[in-house]
Amino acid sequence: MRELPIAPRSPYLHNMAHTPAGTPHDPRGAERFNEERAAYTVASAQPDLEGGVQAIRDMVKVLKPVPGVYRMLDTRGEVLYVGKARSLKARVANYTQIAGLSGRLQRMVSQTRAMEIITTNSEAEALLLEAQLIKRFRPPFNVLLRDDKSFPFILLRADHAFPRIQKHRGARRAKGNYYGPFASAGSVNATLNALQKLFLLRSCTDSFFNNRDRPCLLYQIKRCSAPCVGRISEADYDALVRQAKDFLSGKSGAVQADLEQQMAEAAENLQFETAAMLRDRLRAATFIQGSQAINAAGLGDADVFALAAKGGVMGVQAFFIRGGQNWGHRAFFPRHTSDVDEAQVLASVMLQFYEEVPPPPNILVDRDLPERELIEAALSEVADRKVRITIPERGDRRKLMAQAQRNAVEALERRLAETGTKAKINRELAEFLELDAPPQRIEIYDNSHIQGAKAVGAMVVAGPEGFEKGQYRKFNIHEAQTNDDFAMMREVMARRFRAFADPPQNGEGDRDPQGRGGGADAARPSTILADGPPPRSGEDLPDLILIDGGKGQLSSVMRVLEEIGIADDIAVVGVAKGPHHGRDGREVFHFPDGREKMLPVNSPLLFHLQNLRDEVHRYVIGAHRAKRSKAITASPLDEIPGIGPARKRALLLHFGTASKVRAAALEDLQRAPGVSAAVARKVYDFYHAGG
């Protein structure tokens, strides 16, 4: 069986039973989950429909009528499909009845050569695990939620005497109250700015807070109450925090009424400056409520989903309502929806969406979902409270659903128009670069370094529908340490494509990895054909490679591809600045045979290619800056093996600097608090080996 570790992210996974005895809690967590899951593998060598059916029949023989999740695998071990079942034996057996399967499922069965099974305690657990595995493996025969970027939240921390309000993405580990999701970073930033004006809560980090001796600019522009320098008492700040919690929890009317009363009292007492400040805070509250594009009053916490379909494409519109306020909306365009019922597509999108976002108590949908009660049970288990899925039929909720449906149709029409434009651009791209067909996968490469130091390579991927950010890759360049862009590009290409290299044939001896008879390159050992990891899931050979560079970079890339044996399978083009170094907005496109082409300045295709090049620039420069920042904060003590953070801290506190630690005698190291004789010897030997 091919071991595929699964990192449980959904809360329910911590309570699943994966042992034969059915123990509900397992202290070893994900490791025990992988070791003791019920998994079976059946292989077949015939690449046809009969071979797939036979592999499934062999699996059915060992299955039991218990709930669980199954995975269909192809000959390479890649996941084709993930499904759940109340009875694994009965559900998997259905795939052997070819006449009753759709064309999509028949193609899946024809490619299936193995299966993996995970048993669960209930069908609800299987449903949640199915959604998690779909998001992880992104199988080609499952409905996929394309936009898997995490949603932003507002976090009001609770780990400080003066809580901080901030934007948050990712795992919710910090102690505090989370409010969201928001549809975009722009919507959460606008709300945060208004909340700072309304409640004057601090947004600075704890280190910045602890080192202030006078108020910062935010205090001057009335967006913070300056608790860092005692301009507000802890009790008064707590009152602001309570107001913020009430406002974000849907009690905005009470908060506004309280502010209006305070403003009136200040005006009566001739405290006009205080009254003006309260007036500005009221305006901030009005801005937050006035920015709501829909009327969600009285709805509490809820999500609204509506689906539209046209021309074989489906779009799902989602509204996020929290505390009776609209916190934005997002359109999703799931993939692999052909031959799939619209209601099933909506259910799949919702389950994958709530794999990252906690479900609210109310979910409104525009149609009846298959297995609605089961989905409710599964989401209730995740949320640890009752979750209801309803179809609004009258009143304000029905008006809200109608607005969501209208937005879904409009978003889908815009999507279809954009897709048509992109398809036209791809056709023009294929014609200009002399490709056989519009490219389905484009990889763009660039390097970044400072005189050879902190060198990083990057690959971004673009498909017919835009950038595939989940498949971006960074390469820390190790071999090419000199200021040699060509060598760096060779190393990046070698590491990206070496998994596709053919091994030497038996009896032919070692293959010359450089493929040349002399010169410096031939004398230097190459790791191009060294055993490397298999390609990542979804990383097939690209149809087109764009290199940021001219003839030199292009020839370096072609040399590597020729050595691997795939130069004839991929189109490669170099993109270099024009004759005026790009000042006129033009680029020169270099072909492997030495030809050069240019496009008109106002060509949409030129803008598209420049956008691809700019995206890899952005990505590689960000990676390079992150590497430099990490190096700046690194300590020479980090290089000593076996010395952890506590010992490093003890040494630095005692000696002051890393250089003094290096110059210290063994006896001085042993006198440092918290440093044993063995640790002192290890540090001393590290710096004085061979001395």
Could you tell me if residue 357 is left (phi over 0), alpha (psi between -120 and 50 degrees) or otherwise beta?
Answer: beta
Mean pLDDT confidence for 159-176: 87
Strands (DSSP E) contained in 161-268 are: 165-168, 176-179
Q: What is the pLDDT of residues 269-324, one digit of tens each?
A: 787 777 776 677 666 666 555 444 455 666 778 999 999 998 888 999 999 888 77
Query: Over 70: is that where the pLDDT of 3 sits?
Result: no
Q: How many CB atoms lie within 10 A of CB 545?
A: 25
Question: Residue 539 — pLDDT band, cuts 50, 70, 90?
Answer: low
Mean pLDDT confidence for 556-582: 84
Q: What is the pLDDT of residue 523?
A: 35
- H helix or E strand, kind and range, residue 573: strand 571-577
Question: Residue 482 is which amino acid?
Answer: T
Q: What is the pLDDT of residues 209-266, one digit of tens each?
A: 988 888 998 988 888 999 999 999 999 999 889 888 887 776 666 666 777 777 787 7
Question: Identical fold at 302-415 and 442-504+512-532+540-631?
Answer: yes
Q: What is the pLDDT of residue 16?
A: 36
According to CATH, the topology of domain 11-137 is GIY-YIG endonuclease (3.40.1440)
Mean pLDDT confidence for 50-73: 93
Q: Are 387 and 363 in contact (CB under 8 A)?
A: yes
Cis before 636 (ω within 30): no
636-688 belongs to CATH 3.40.50.20: no
Mean pLDDT confidence for 90-117: 92
Q: What is the pLDDT of residue 667?
A: 82
Q: Tell me the C-alpha to C-alpha distance, in Å, between residue 14 and each of 32, 264, 353, 453.
A: 11, 53, 20, 44
Q: What is the pLDDT of residue 292?
A: 46
Q: What is the pLDDT of residue 325?
A: 77
Continuous H helices in 483-603? 485-497, 519-523, 551-564
Mean pLDDT confidence for 503-521: 39
Q: What is the pLDDT of residue 486?
A: 86
The Cα–Cα gap between 398 and 421 comes to 35
Mean pLDDT confidence for 649-678: 80
Taking the domain 302-415, which CATH number applies? 3.30.420
Question: Residue 637 — pLDDT band, cuts 50, 70, 90?
Answer: low
Residues 6+ apart with CB under 8 A from 474: 456, 457, 458, 459, 619, 620, 623
Q: What is the pLDDT of residues 612-625, one digit of tens each?
A: 999 998 988 887 77
Question: Residue 207 — pLDDT band, cuts 50, 70, 90?
Answer: confident
Question: Residue 412 — pLDDT band, cuts 50, 70, 90?
Answer: very high
Q: What is the pLDDT of residues 14-46, one digit of tens each?
A: 333 333 333 333 333 433 333 333 333 333 333
CATH of 442-504+512-532+540-631, picked from 3.30.420.340, 3.40.50.620, 3.30.70.2610, 3.30.300.30, is 3.30.420.340
Dihedral sign of CA atoms 498, 502, 506, 511 in order: negative
| Helix 185-199, helix 272-290: angle, nearest 10 | 160
- H helix or E strand, kind and range, residue 60: helix 49-60
Q: In 3D, which of 500, 499, 494, 560 has the Cα closest to residue 527? A: 494
Domain boundaries defined on the chain: 11-137, 153-290, 302-415, 442-504+512-532+540-631, 636-688
